[in-house]
Amino acid sequence: MSEDKKLNENLESEEIKTEDSKLDSQDPSSEASFTKTAEELGAMNVDELMEQYDLETSKLRKLSGKVALFITIVAILMSAFHLFTAWHGTLLAMKQRSLHLIFAFTLGFALYPGFKKSSKDKIDITDWLLIILSVGVWGYIFFNVEAIALKGGQMSTTDMILGVLAVLLTLEVTRRVVGPELPIVTIVFLLFAYFGRHMPGIFAHRGFNVTRIVSHMYMTTEGIMGTPLGVSSTFVFMFILFGSFLDKTGVGEFFIDFAYALTGSTRSGPAMTSVLSSGLMGSISGSSVANTVTTGAFTIPLMKSVGYKPHYAGAVEATASTGGQIMPPVMGAAAFIMADFTGFPYISIVKAAIIPAVLYYIAVGTMVHLEACKLGLKGMPRESLPKVSHILRKQGYLTLPLIAIIFMLVKQYPPTMAALTGIVIGVIVAMTVSLIKKDNSFTPKDILGAMEAGAKGAVGVACACACAGMIVGVVTLTGFGLKIAEVIVQIAQGRLIPTLLLTMVSSIILGMGLPTTAKYIVLATMAVPAITKLGVNLMSAHLFILYFGVVADVTPPVALAAYAGAGIAGANSMKTGFQAFKLAIGAFIIPYIFVINPHLIMVDSIVGTTVNWLPVTAALPTIVTALIGTICLAGTVESYLFGNLRIWQRIILLLAAFALLDPKLLTDAIGLAALAFIFVTQKMLNKNKPAATA
């Protein structure tokens, strides 16, 4: 790591010098100023960092020649298939999902070597065999859906052989692409299904033979091809593809330029830029690590250049990037699975998620601003920054696909159609601008490149959903979900807060090895019944699970997004991880608030899958006090509010934060009184000192 650290420090110093010279020499209103700067800052080390910290990217083979062309064609065909079904309507469930798996498994076995010693530049013979087996196993389902339905679960010898192969292939491709943790958990669940009669106490069940288990996993939509894969093969793939098209049009650079122009002159300057740009980009990327690396290559060196410590700069970027998965309008892949699990329209989930997500970013933004005040930092000179009006005039067209998606979702069109519309509009706009400017900034080659990147980016989600589908299958087959819910409630003695704490801890532990999507699926299957059994509405329960699935990316000891930020900053990984955990503290508290009082997510009541929304005027007092409480919490973490806080003041401010976050009239009054007391005492204690303007 010492060589990597030295390399990063050298890169960083060169980046800062480059940036300083540009600021001195450029006309801030010139057309390509900060977009070009961002590209130059990121070009040197983004790919290396992605390979080092993004678990999926780090394993990828680098193919060449005809084999690479073949894989490119497969990836483009996968995207073409999903674009076609998004327009003309999806196929029968098992047909859609089996063809999705043929593409995903082919790319998975081709691009991800089986072992460390396996070839990194060619596909081994074993991998070709696994690809052929995958095509045969899932092709059998695709061409025999009607015959399988008529069998009613009965299995022939051929069915049994193919079913066993399907389970083994799913475990193996997931091990390669996602990591060994999810397959290990899946194997434990499969063994639980078989050895049920030997299990102790409440976990005992009658047990199922191998034929019954394999049939359930392979020949129904309750196992590998269950709900998680159904969402992956429709909504999730289309939004991953949408993100790839946006990336090709340059929307990432636009977000950075826009955020920098808007916030660069504030006291917290580049740090606030990081928070805003990462939130915007993260809402469509769905990957904490990828977002940290792409935007962090620009924002982290700038944060360091104005005085933020390296570990703090890396933590800010990681925390802001991770929050993208809970930030509407797109959010992460787990949000689409949530829509399918709960039956709520996706737009309802987006609406419920808005206020908690905004509070999360306000908490992070407040903390970085207070840190700047504490350190006496200053923003960038206004004359060195591009103008917001100029950026919007020159690059504002890049937001049209996002506007289209929001419009389609609000009008309650299917998410797949919304994503397709966004893609089409993005392509039309980018092609039109390219033709007008005659700069070849977007060509048909970029369309194919986006289709290839989208398919490759979806492989991890597809494999994780297929493997997690077996866990869900075992839960439904054995009734384990209800049993584990009973155990959780018994341990917590029927009390809500202990139940929520147990669920949170479980989520963070799972987060050490599972991607957000798989983690959400497992917890939604097992923990949500325990929460809802205690009277919590379904929306709040699932959002609670989603939040703690997401923040595991900045929770040590396995905080991959934070470690990626540390790599860019040249900082200690664990120190950056704990700082990111502190900055993300709002995400550990806000979910408890909307579980206790769903007014924070604008929910009045839920009947079935129909949400009765609370009027904004009725929810406003809860939102305002939660906002003030969030600021108090930020001040507690930073040990600074109107000035440096003493220990006793931090304790009082923390109590004020919790009182304000608890939406009751009495607690709000106590919280506001405590905050007023802190204000008065800070002014009195600091009256003879120069005041730092917050």
Q: Does 10 have pLDDT greater than 70?
A: no
- What is the rounded average pLDDT of the residues 104-113? 95
- The lowest-confidence range among 204-213, 279-288, 518-527, 641-650 is 279-288
Query: For position 250, what pLDDT does the model report?
Result: 80
Query: For position 493, what pLDDT does the model report?
Result: 84
Query: For position 55, what pLDDT does the model report?
Result: 56
Highest mean pLDDT range out of 48-52, 63-67, 372-376, 482-486? 63-67
Residue 357 identity: A
* Cα–Cα dist 583/554, whole Å: 9
Confidence of residue 682 (pLDDT cuts 50, 70, 90): confident
The two tokens of residue 81 are 């298939």
The answer to whether the beta carbons of residues 190 and 213 sit under 8 Å apart is: yes
Cβ contacts of residue 336 below 8 Å, gap of 6+?
Answer: 231, 235, 236, 239, 346, 415
pLDDT digits (tens, 9 = 90+) for 565-613: 888 888 888 888 899 999 998 888 889 988 988 888 988 888 777 888 8
Nearest to 454 by CA among 248, 179, 177, 224: 248
Query: For position 549, what pLDDT does the model report?
Result: 81
pLDDT digits (tens, 9 = 90+) for 318-365: 898 888 888 887 777 778 888 888 888 888 898 999 999 999 999 998
Confidence of residue 688 (pLDDT cuts 50, 70, 90): low
- What is the rounded average pLDDT of the residues 112-136? 92
Cβ contacts of residue 129 below 8 Å, gap of 6+?
Answer: none
The two tokens of residue 153 are 């679960």
Cis omega (within 30 of 0) on the bond before 557?
A: yes
**Percent of residues, the chain, with pLDDT higher than 70:** 89
Query: For position 209, what pLDDT does the model report?
Result: 92
* Cα–Cα dist 267/263, whole Å: 9
Highest mean pLDDT range out of 7-11, 178-182, 292-296, 687-691? 178-182
Query: For position 486, what pLDDT does the model report?
Result: 78
Nearest to 231 by CA among 452, 448, 54, 468: 468
pLDDT digits (tens, 9 = 90+) for 413-444: 888 898 899 999 999 998 998 888 888 888 89
Phi, then psi, of 182 in degrees rounded to 5 = -65, -45
Nearest to 495 by CA among 536, 462, 454, 526: 536
Q: Does 104 have pLDDT greater than 90?
A: yes
- The lowest-confidence range among 42-46, 81-85, 188-192 is 42-46
Query: For position 46, what pLDDT does the model report?
Result: 56
Query: For position 21, what pLDDT does the model report?
Result: 40
Query: For position 567, what pLDDT does the model report?
Result: 80
Query: For position 23, what pLDDT does the model report?
Result: 36
Side-chain half-sphere of 8: how many Cα atoms within 13 Å? 26
Confidence of residue 522 (pLDDT cuts 50, 70, 90): confident
Query: For position 513, what pLDDT does the model report?
Result: 61
- SS3 string of 510-567? HHCCCCHHHHHHHHHHHCHHHHHCCCCCHHHHHHHHHHHHHHHHHCCCCCHHHHHHHH
Nearest to 364 by CA among 451, 450, 275: 275
Residue 361 identity: Y
Q: Does 310 have pLDDT greater than 50?
A: yes
- The lowest-confidence range among 121-125, 126-130, 293-297, 449-453 is 293-297
The DSSP symbol for 377 reads -
The answer to whether the beta carbons of residues 268 and 371 sit under 8 Å apart is: yes
C-alpha to C-alpha distances, 576 to 300, 310, 318, 565, 580, nearest whole angstrom? 12, 8, 9, 8, 6
Query: For position 224, what pLDDT does the model report?
Result: 94
pLDDT digits (tens, 9 = 90+) for 525-559: 888 888 888 888 999 999 998 888 888 878 887 67
Cis omega (within 30 of 0) on the bond before 621?
A: no
* Cα–Cα dist 418/425, whole Å: 11
* Cα–Cα dist 270/113, whole Å: 39
pLDDT digits (tens, 9 = 90+) for 616-648: 888 888 888 888 988 998 899 888 888 888 899
Query: For position 511, what pLDDT does the model report?
Result: 64
Query: For position 25, what pLDDT does the model report?
Result: 38
- What is the rounded average pLDDT of the residues 235-246? 87
- The lowest-confidence range among 237-241, 522-526, 574-578 is 522-526
Query: For position 687, what pLDDT does the model report?
Result: 66
- Report the run of H or E that residue 155 belongs to, with start and end: none
Confidence of residue 497 (pLDDT cuts 50, 70, 90): confident
The more confidently predicted of residues 29 and 514 is 514
Helices (H) and strands (E) in the chain, counts: 34, 2
- What is the rounded average pLDDT of the residues 193-200? 88
Residue 353 identity: A
Query: For position 233, what pLDDT does the model report?
Result: 92
pLDDT digits (tens, 9 = 90+) for 50-94: 555 555 555 788 888 899 999 999 999 999 999 999 999 899 999
Q: What is the mean pLDDT of the chain?
A: 83
Phi, then psi, of 613 in degrees rounded to 5 = -80, 145
Side-chain half-sphere of 172: how many Cα atoms within 13 Å? 19
**Percent of residues, the chain, with pLDDT higher than 90:** 27
Rounded to 5°, angle at Cα 287 from 76 and 301: 115
Cβ contacts of residue 345 below 8 Å, gap of 6+?
Answer: 339, 412
Q: Does 378 have pLDDT greater than 70?
A: yes
